[in-house]
Structure 1
């Protein structure tokens, strides 16, 4: 549905911190499914951990936040021009849990659902999966603001 070029028109993040490769499904105001292919060439694996590469939990949460940011910004009813003047700030991440390690070669799928949506505030239920196995979950709260 959205490739990385289209994602970069929505999010300000760039390599090495753009953590969403593709959006496969999205219903504005409701939910989004997106993914990131985890490669051994990720810079984070140089130090986490040499000889035993594990994708950091904080990066999984950031990927969920970025997928949620795409959903929030696309759900705000903004024109493409207005979208260029907005950014999303995450206010809180609650109930974060990590259930299974994510390793190079995994396809990390973010499944994000809207719990609450107001004009500039969004509360999301975030889950991350590898091969339909839940690897992480959290509740995310964010605000859409002017740049």
Structure 2
């Protein structure tokens, strides 16, 4: 698995930071339409300590957030939206098929389906190995970065 972007390179583009940052690398990037990012999960993740401690799993909402971060990276790498910020405008048809547990490598896939101006739609899915663990559809909105 070739790493196309590492953590430092990703953090130059998206605004997310610890404790709500979930991308370790990018392993696929295709024509500003598709991205696959990776999140390596260890027992050291904060959420595993409190989310079903006897049967730890990654909360579905955080899987969706990780998918959104991968999508944000894809969107903000495009020439049209460099220097902007991508926001979730809607999440539709989210389905959680399998548990994501410590030791799993989560592959985060995001395909842009349509963009009109600053608004677009995408399909996203997360896999562990060959198993789809989560899938959903996003509406996203691209806007100016908030000034400090």
TM-score when scaled to structure 1? 0.92
Give the unaligned 5+ runs of structure 2. none
State which of 107, 126, 129 in structure 2 corresponds to 1:131: 129
Q: Distance in 2 between matches of 1:76 and 1:47?
A: 41
Q: CA deviation at 1:29?
A: 2.8
Contact 1:25-1:33 at 8 Å conserved across structures: yes
Give the unaligned 5+ runs of structure 1. none
Q: Distance in 1 between matches of 2:33 and 2:85?
A: 19
| CA distances 1:94-145 after superposition (whole Å, capped 9, x unpaired) | 0000000000000000111111123322211001000110000000111110
Counterpart residue number, 2:96: 98
Ranges of 4+ aligned residues in structure 1 off by more than 6 Å: none
Query: Helix, strand or coil: the match of 1:14?
Result: coil
Counterpart residue number, 2:138: 140
Counterpart residue number, 1:31: 34
Contact 1:48-1:56 at 8 Å conserved across structures: yes
1:73 equivalent to 2:90? Answer no
State which of 13, 17, 26 in structure 2 corresponds to 1:10: 13
State which of 105, 108, 121 in structure 1 corresponds to 2:106: 108
Q: Distance in 1 between matches of 2:131 and 2:70?
A: 18
TM-score when scaled to structure 2? 0.91
Task: Please give the root-mean-square deviation of Cα atoms over the aligned residues, in Å.
Answer: 1.2
